[in-house]
Chain A
Amino acid sequence: MISIRQLTKKYKTVEALKGITLDVPEGELFGYLGPNGSGKTTTIRILTGLARPTSGDATLHGFHILRESLEARRQCGLVPQTLNLDNELTVRENLDIHGRLFDMPRRERKARIDEMLEYVDILDRRDSPVKTLSGGLKRRVMVARALMHAPRILFLDEPTVGLDPAIRRRLWSLIKKIQQNGATIFLTTHYIEEAEFLAERVAFLNEGSIVALETPQNLMARLGEWALDEMVEGNMETVYFRSREEANRRVAGREEGGFILRRVNLEDVFIALTGKKVQAP
């Protein structure tokens, strides 16, 4: 369970978080979405102990992130946005050091390294130096490392950024598998289809504030089921419809190619709420 109350963070003149309040129940796969600079990574940095909040409170499974920081940190695994592996060391050595940092006994460490590498399907690269791995494999090593100490909460900060679509989908399966094994997952992403596919609930963050918090289905249902993108006097406009028939009536008689009829997605919801797109970082 993640519990956040009135969390704020100020960097000199910039207010990165403006009083976030949020609860994520145990076992949920939660999507945290927003454009660049909206405060997603700042939230994760505070919750995982990398940054201090300016005010507000947060607990991870009941442990306060400041007053019981070591216990709170023990609850979570973190896959940060940037690759942060020791390139000089092997895959096994990277995981071994993580296990030592979490005070895992030697025998448990040894067994868990193999178990985790098998879990993310890179056991055969166990003794390869990290610098010889591709970006996708490095991401999987980072996931294995974050899971080494069996955390109850996994923070994934843009875990699939920069990966090709096939590898991205492979990581999605892995994320689902981790959740099915009981972990709470806090996921930030700018890939809207990723959030739609994975998250049970999503929060939209805009300029440090949560502007919506719902299931993806309910959020999209606010707009309708179908979206029509069309050019109006040189500008792209999107109109939403409750049913396909309604949308069809609108485009009846028009030539094909001047419009796109598609299903409503989370990006539409975000644009409707904020007037901004969820851009790539």
Chain B
Amino acid sequence: MMRGFFAIYYREILILRKKLLRQMASMSVAPLLYLIAFGFGMGRDVRVDGHSYLEFLIPGLVAMNSMTQAFAIAGEINIARFYWRIFEEFQAAPIHNIAYVTGEILAGMTRAFLSAVIILVIGAASGVFLWYGPLFWMSVALNSFLFASLAVCLAMLVKSHADQALLTNFFITPMAFLGGTFFPVDRMPGWVQDVLHFLPLTHAAQAIRTSAFGGVPSAVSCIILAIIGGALFVCAFLCVNQARD
């Protein structure tokens, strides 16, 4: 069943390696800007739940950046599909769709982990040292698995590269700003909190932040992330099937 998944993963990693410096620079730009604007600019004198705002912000940026970078695999898939037409090479190969989906999702997760490491390095350079133990990385893994699966799903559904930008605007941008990256969700009015708890990033940011502060992330958040991620994985598999016209 999984035969061939490594070929898919290996190709994505090979391409990532060819432009690693550019990619890393690009992964650093947004978090650096947020760190300067919100962390150093506005948050110097702000404390949240006993932590400095910078300490609050860094795990939030890890959640946000791992989400955007995992989702960015959709862009790579679309380039392969609509521009280079390489997707046809995969369709004509004797591999199961599940192997294709797994390879692409793992590639998205690899990008997400790389972006998380970049943020932690930027955080350390800013004097922020938190606890990055197994629970922290498990939370990053759940978050990136979910958004990489969503990326594969949507990449198969869009009909052109331009549609992809539209979907990013609808799904990712609102989540980045409302999912607890920059502010504690529990400070919002009750009904807003209820709405925000429908966003996977809210649960991911909470899990990543709690574990970075040395705590144990909420089991409910982790289960929600795992269930949504699993459902999106199945959807991704079905969408790849659908892409065979």
Query: Which A residues are CB-close (under 8 A) to B8?
Result: 101
Smallest Cβ distance from A47 to chain B, in angstroms? 10
Given contacts A85-B84, A86-B15, contact A50 B90 (CB under 8 A): no
Smallest Cβ distance from A55 to chain B, in angstroms? 15
Tell me, yes or no, whether A218 is within 8 Å of chain B by CB. no
Q: Bits for A63-95, please: 1 = Cβ < 8 Å to B, else 0.
A: 000000011011010101011111111000100
Given contacts A86-B15, A88-B15, contact A49 B92 (CB under 8 A): yes
For window 167-185 of A, CB contacts with B under 8 Å fall at: none
The answer to whether B89 and A84 touch across the interface, beta carbons within 8 angstroms, is: yes
Query: Which A residues are CB-close (under 8 A) to B92?
Result: 48-50, 73, 76, 78
Complex CA gap A85/B95 in Å reads 19
The answer to whether B14 and A50 touch across the interface, beta carbons within 8 angstroms, is: no
Tell me, yes or no, whether B6 is within 8 Å of chain A by CB. yes
* CB-nearest residue of chain B to A50: B91
Please tell me which one of the listed residues B3, B6, B85, B94 contacts residue A71 in the complex, with CB atoms under 8 A apart: B94
Smallest Cβ distance from A73 to chain B, in angstroms? 4
Given contacts A70-B96, A71-B94, A89-B14, contact A100 B84 (CB under 8 A): no
Smallest Cβ distance from A95 to chain B, in angstroms? 11
Smallest Cβ distance from A131 to chain B, in angstroms? 10
Given contacts A51-B244, A101-B4, A103-B4, contact A88 B18 (CB under 8 A): yes
Query: Which B residues are CB-close (under 8 A) to A100?
Result: 4, 6-7, 10
Q: Bits for A27-49, please: 1 = Cβ < 8 Å to B, else 0.
A: 00000000000000000010011
Query: Which A residues are CB-close (under 8 A) to B162?
Result: none
Tell me, yes or no, whether A98 is within 8 Å of chain B by CB. yes
* CB-nearest residue of chain A to B11: A97
Most buried by B among A11, A50, A76: A50
For window 1-28 of B, CB contacts with A under 8 Å fall at: 3-4, 6-8, 10-11, 14-15, 18-19
For window 87-140 of A, CB contacts with B under 8 Å fall at: 87-89, 93, 97-98, 100-103
Complex CA gap A57/B10 in Å reads 35
Query: Which B residues are CB-close (under 8 A) to A88?
Result: 15, 18-19
Main SS class of interface, A: loop
Tell me, yes or no, whether A52 is within 8 Å of chain B by CB. yes
Query: Which A residues are CB-close (under 8 A) to B94?
Result: 70-71, 73-74, 101-103
Count contacts on A: residues with CB < 8 A to the other chain: 29
The answer to whether B4 and A80 touch across the interface, beta carbons within 8 angstroms, is: no
Count contacts on B: residues with CB < 8 A to the other chain: 26
Given contacts A70-B96, A89-B18, contact A50 B88 (CB under 8 A): yes
Smallest Cβ distance from B198 to chain A, in angstroms? 36
Given contacts A86-B11, A89-B14, A101-B4, contact A49 B84 (CB under 8 A): no
Query: Which B residues are CB-close (under 8 A) to A85?
Result: 84, 86
Complex CA gap A73/B19 in Å reads 32
Tell me, yes or no, whether B29 is within 8 Å of chain A by CB. no
Please tell me which one of the listed residues B4, B7, B84, B95 contacts residue A86 in the complex, with CB atoms under 8 A apart: B84
The answer to whether A93 and B245 touch across the interface, beta carbons within 8 angstroms, is: no
Tell me, yes or no, whether B166 is within 8 Å of chain A by CB. no
The answer to whether A103 and B3 touch across the interface, beta carbons within 8 angstroms, is: yes
Tell me, yes or no, whether B219 is within 8 Å of chain A by CB. no
The answer to whether B85 and A101 touch across the interface, beta carbons within 8 angstroms, is: no
Given contacts A52-B244, A73-B93, A100-B7, contact A89 B85 (CB under 8 A): no
* CB-nearest residue of chain B to A89: B14
Complex CA gap A7/B19 in Å reads 45
The answer to whether B84 and A97 touch across the interface, beta carbons within 8 angstroms, is: no
Given contacts A51-B244, A70-B96, contact A101 B15 (CB under 8 A): no
Complex CA gap A196/B156 in Å reads 40
Smallest Cβ distance from B45 to chain A, in angstroms? 47
* CB-nearest residue of chain A to B99: A101
Complex CA gap A98/B88 in Å reads 12
Complex CA gap A71/B3 in Å reads 13
Query: Which B residues are CB-close (under 8 A) to A84?
Result: 84-86, 88-89
The answer to whether B86 and A86 touch across the interface, beta carbons within 8 angstroms, is: yes
5 interchain pairs (CB within 8 A)?
A73-B92, A84-B88, A89-B14, A89-B15, A100-B4
| Chain B positions near chain A (C-beta within 8 angstroms) | 3-4, 6-8, 10-11, 14-15, 18-19, 80, 84-86, 88-96, 244-245
| Chain A positions near chain B (C-beta within 8 angstroms) | 11, 45, 48-52, 70-71, 73-74, 76, 78, 80, 82-89, 93, 97-98, 100-103
Q: Given A48-B92, A71-B94, 18 more contacts at CB 8 Å?
A: A50-B92, A50-B245, A51-B244, A70-B94, A73-B93, A78-B92, A80-B85, A84-B89, A86-B11, A86-B84, A87-B84, A89-B18, A97-B14, A100-B6, A101-B4, A101-B7, A101-B95, A103-B3
